[in-house]
Chains A and B, each alone.
Chain A
Amino acid sequence: MRKTTLTLALLASAGLAHATPADPAKSSVKFVFTQMNVPVEGQFKKFAADVAFDNAKLDASKVSIAVDLAAADAGSSDANQAMQMKEWFNTSAFPKATFTATQFKSLGAGKFQAIGQFALKGKTANLTVPFTVKPDAAKGQWFEGSFPLSRLAWKVGEGEWSDVGAVADAVQVKFKLYVPK
């Protein structure tokens, strides 16, 4: 009896492990940073997200996102070039930021938390990302969330740029992913 349940669970998770890539045309990863108290919105134009999410099978769900940091648009060509530099993303050494979550918590009312590993600029640490899930008529899923990230915790903006008076530590990350069925 126990064995059957276990087998079923394994089967179910095997079914879910088939991750679906998010539709890049409908998805976005944006960020808002604050320089001299001026909020500036930018976005990561290239990223890949693979999602296997079922709110009835959170244990078997899995999300992984890889963001191409070289394709960051920080609002101006000067800033975009600066983003590539050592002090900021150092993209030649660390071209990607990744987030992989296998642990999920339901907060009710369509709200969830993904607890996973976030790797950026050579540092990997735990990160909890809040999000909501909304199904659409085509049985696809919209994942949306927004959370503050400490840029200094991942050494984004070193040297003179570690001055939080010039660029605030908290960078708001806003993502929207559409995962078709």
Chain B
Amino acid sequence: MKMIGGRKLFKKLLASMTGMIMAIGMLAGCTDKEPTSSNSTSQSKDGNQLVTITTARTLKDDTKFRQGEDVNNNPVTRWAEKELGIKLKTLWTAPNDEQYYNKIRLALSSGQELPDVFMVSDGLLINDLIRSGKVMSVDKAIEQYASPRLKEIFNKFPEAFYPATVDGNRYGIPRFSGGNGSDSLLWIRKDWLDKLGLQPPKTIEDLEKIMDAFVNQDPDGNGKKDTIGLTLASKNGLATWLADGSFVFGAYGNYVPSSWSKGEDGSLVYGSVQPSIKKGLAKLREWYEKGYLDKEIGILDEQTAIKSFVAGKSGIIAAPPWGAGWPIADAIKNNPGAIVEPYPLPSGSDGKIGRRGEGLTVGMFLFNKNFKHMDKFFEYWDAIYSYIFNDSRYFKYGLFEGYDYVMKDGQPVYDPNQIPRGKIDPGKYFLTTDIPTVPYMLYNLAEELYTTKRKPKNAYEYTKIVSQGEPYMKAATIVNQQNQYRIENEFSGPPTKTMQKRGEFLTKMERETFANIIYGRVPLSEFDNFVEKWEGSGGQEITKEVNEWYRSVKGEK
């Protein structure tokens, strides 16, 4: 921490004390300071124009640096400066998303200058930033500067722009997610199945038989009735990213709780109030009563729910493919002899299958309205995308030699143990805070690598897929093959007017009702009362507003 000199500070205190100028200045509303040195161009050593782009980002604990390097001095910044003539300057960092958004919001609220480029995923904050007029529309810039292949991706996933679309103008560039990266499948204790002579489940009915056996036939052989069938998290909603319960609802209809998806007439409807949800809740209620679920399910969030599975007290968990590394690996470590295998999601009585589909974007990159170098930005963007398209001028075998790979005898080696001073992922130094992605690409690749058994072509394929192990690749293949069952939340805009007013109450009511139904504290018919109350207490208006939003971002009148 740097210290300002005592005298300077004293003067400052004195000045503010006597004049109270500040208070007046504050009331007058945010007197802006001079923009922080953005848009400056300077000469680089070899005479080329050097463009400075400022940013702010999260810097998580898993982003490691080599000795002497940091967020403003690393292979990526050096590469950008040398090859692209871009000086990337990170003005500030925050260690996690929550703190990052807090700081952006504070900067906006107190009239601070925003960085040139920064990512936001919170819909409301994006909307506030757009309405403040401090960020600019990117329509023209995409038209002028984006490379053809970037345009192609952008056109392929138009809905990825919806979170930052206002009045038909696009204000942000999406930071794509893996598409189906956090979609779930079933992980089941294969050793338990074998021990009890059971087959993997094809239907919910099969699943019930298995759960029953897991609960009543002592699969862990300790002579105690202390095992459960299925690990679910419910504190933050039943459709979620780990210990996910959405497949139970997906087996009975095209809706999952807390999610806006297309109804029969093509307009968006709220999942939680659809009749099929009642069927799913009825199942969960029955399962809870029979002891298939964790007694504490009501208070378990994603990260506390998994402990039953990790401790070897539960036989099934719905988790994404990356679950192979955590928590599945921990479960195997804790329970010698445990075998956990990935399986496709089971179907309901009429053959229906459905799962919560992850959104297409992780966040939107927004641009300060004074930012002048969109051309440079897109040059950078295309350059880092070239890596995953495998045609990069800069990154043939990997990103940076000595970081994610080394050359030995003219061949790239990816094994972390062979890299001097260990392996470090320089992809985290990119503006995207990770190697950029295109939706569905990762699991498509994984499926290809898993089914063809071909060798990885670059450090990306090795690190992100092959080195994750066989179970991961198998799971990714299964998830990819069930892509048609995705039920995505299609509402990605900011909370609507009525949502801001009534949303808290409606969500609270929903969580409370669902929890009480599962615990059998209220009759199942309470669901109907909930639906009625939901409609009457603002739900109808919200549905109307959501559809207005939907039409507007799609460009319909």
A and B assemble together? no
Q: What is the interface of chain A, defined by CB distance below 8 A to chain B?
A: none
Q: What is the interface of chain B, defined by CB distance below 8 A to chain A?
A: none
